[in-house]
Structure 1
Amino acid sequence: MIVKNTVFENILDSNGLFQKHFHSTYTIGITHDGFFKSFASNKSSVSYKYSTRIINPHEIHHGNSKSWKYTNFYPSISLLEDIYEQIFFERKIPLFAEHIIEDEILYKLLWNLFNSVYIKSATMNIEINLIETLSYIVKNYTSDRKRNDNFPVEKKIIVRTLEYIHDCIEFTISLDNLVENINLSKYHFIRVFKEYVGLTPHQYIIMSRVNRAKELIIKGESLSIASLNTGFTDQSHFIKNFRKIYGYSPKQLQKKENFFLL
């Protein structure tokens, strides 16, 4: 199925700050009520009722919500690549410059998609709604495209560091570990890392651990196992960081409250 392992979330009331974070997938959603002030790509924008929100993979973003009622889903890079290839006959990753989009047609397309998922409509109907929605987004809002790379940065030294972090996420990672064999001082490493990634190494490691833990919880792991297997020695520390990023607790995700996985 084309949306297999795609997470859909429906949040009824979000209030408070979301700290800087990223997702390895796209984030596409609509606001039903309230508002969300979002910061991404060095600019701020506000999502009000009936607006659409799109975040590119690995794009650093944060924000503030008030009585925010929204529905999101997290399509993979490969899924958007497939859609792009079917439209333009070349395989590229579509990127979107507009973070908040006011488009009534797009809002209705997304609403129909989300509704078909949550009422557990026929598989074919969900797939048709998904293809129509993503095709509309790709054709009307793609601002750039790039070849598929594993990481959002090109410098070999940063790519190797990110690979190391993801390979060793369940272990304690020190700054000494990160600068070993890269011929950079800690000062220059931190500067280069932050310049290309948009986060400090410590922030990136925390975000990566939370994202990996979320994947494990979705697959059925307990909170304690998910946090332990992603390098959190203190479960309360994991819960605190999870809430800062997603605006809800991992227990809500575990109980499948307002969530759906296809």
Structure 2
Amino acid sequence: MSKKNTDWIRHAPGSARLERIEAYFSGNAYAMHRHDTYAIGSTLAGVQSFAYRGSKCNSLPGGTIVLHPDEAHDGQAGTGDGFHYRMIYVEPALIQQILGGQALPFIKHGISSDPRLFAATLPLLQAMDKPMDALEEQDALFDLAHAMHNCSDKLAGAAASKLHFDYQAAERAREYIHSAITDNITLDELADHSGRDRWSLSRDFRLLFGTSPYRYLTMRRLDLVKSLLMQGYTLVNAALAAGFSDQSHMSKHFSKAFGLTPLRWLNMHGKASRPG
């Protein structure tokens, strides 16, 4: 690939469970950011470099990238040829539903050479131009969750397994957040709806879903912002409709979560910028 290629992102259609993308970047891709999903994928061409957990990682074709929820990372081309990749973003709640409320799988170095994990990601990274059948996607997610569990760093998993947590209470709190994402939710409200005291709930939520309740709420608001922007909403109206106090507040969180400003994100999707 050439540097003359324009940076682009394409989203696979048709899934309410996870986001699947294919993208190309010629140089700097993302500033340091963190999102509350797993980012799992493969580099198709070039060298995909990123800072992660204090180290510089270089992903090449044939390996599997597995970034843990809420871990800061960036992204850039490791050579002058740019990099081409495919990625899926999977909510920890989906992994929890499959594994039954265990500690989240953790891949220590962000890149795995384990063939089990590579094989499990392939069905989800194929045919990005069309939606997957519902059962096909569910089967693939089942295989992926178990591959991640089997390839997980055992020391981290053993330490987490010693903690006592209430998965059902945390799930009730998560569901309540989805029902009230534009409201000013408090931890006391979440505790009331979950049936667990607020500090135990806060700890359990982090362990089971990889992020804090407030971060989870913010990310769901940002998901709504992205959907509204793709529908043609202005930045101001999308921010207010999603529960942010103003456009500036939304834009700050957007950049921290995705490593791109809302305007650059729109431009890379071929959408006209509508700031107000």
Q: TM-score, normalised by structure 2?
A: 0.57
Change (3 A) 1:11 1:78: same
Which residue does 1:92 correspond to in 2? Answer: 103
Distance 1:106 1:57 in 2: 17
1:70 Cα shift?
0.9
Distance 1:91 1:16 in 2: 36
Structure 2 residue runs without a partner (length 5+): 1-14, 171-181, 185-213, 272-276
Structure 1 residue runs without a partner (length 5+): 151-165, 169-204, 256-262
Change (3 A) 1:231 1:48: farther
Change (3 A) 1:128 1:221: same
1:252 Cα shift?
4.2
Change (3 A) 1:135 1:32: same
Change (3 A) 1:253 1:131: farther
**Does the CA-based 8 Å contact 1:8-1:74 persist in structure 2?**
yes
Which residue does 1:81 correspond to in 2? Answer: 96
Q: Secondary structure at the match of 1:126?
A: helix
Q: Secondary structure at the match of 2:259?
A: helix
Are 1:12 and 2:27 matched, yes or no?
no
Distance 2:127 2:73 in 1: 29
**Does the CA-based 8 Å contact 1:23-1:211 persist in structure 2?**
no
Out of 244, 249, 257, which is 2:265 matched to?
A: 249
Which residue does 2:143 correspond to in 1? Answer: 132
RMSD over aligned CA atoms reads: 3.9
**Does the CA-based 8 Å contact 1:22-1:61 persist in structure 2?**
yes
Distance 2:16 2:218 in 1: 23
Distance 2:103 2:121 in 1: 23
Q: Deviations over 1:159-215 (max 9, x none)?
A: xxxxxxx977xxxxxxxxxxxxxxxxxxxxxxxxxxxxxxxxxxxx9xx97884343
Which residue does 1:33 correspond to in 2? Answer: 45
Which residue does 1:217 correspond to in 2? Answer: 226
* Aligned residue type for 1:83: I
Q: TM-score, normalised by structure 1?
A: 0.60
Distance 2:146 2:20 in 1: 19
Q: Deviations over 1:70-125 (max 9, x none)?
A: 1111111111223333xxxx632222212012234433432222225643242212
Change (3 A) 1:242 1:11: farther
Out of 69, 86, 93, which is 1:71 matched to?
A: 86
Q: Secondary structure at the match of 2:47?
A: strand
* Aligned residue type for 1:51: G
Change (3 A) 1:56 1:254: farther
**Does the CA-based 8 Å contact 1:209-1:231 persist in structure 2?**
no
**Does the CA-based 8 Å contact 2:34-2:70 persist in structure 1?**
yes
Distance 1:112 1:245 in 2: 27
Q: Secondary structure at the match of 2:126?
A: helix
Aligned length: 199
Give the share of equivalent positions with the same residue, in percent.
15
Q: Secondary structure at the match of 1:70?
A: strand
* Greater displacement, 242-251 / 108-117: 242-251
1:139 Cα shift?
0.8
* Aligned positions of 1:98-137 closer than 5 A: 98-115=109-126, 118-137=129-148
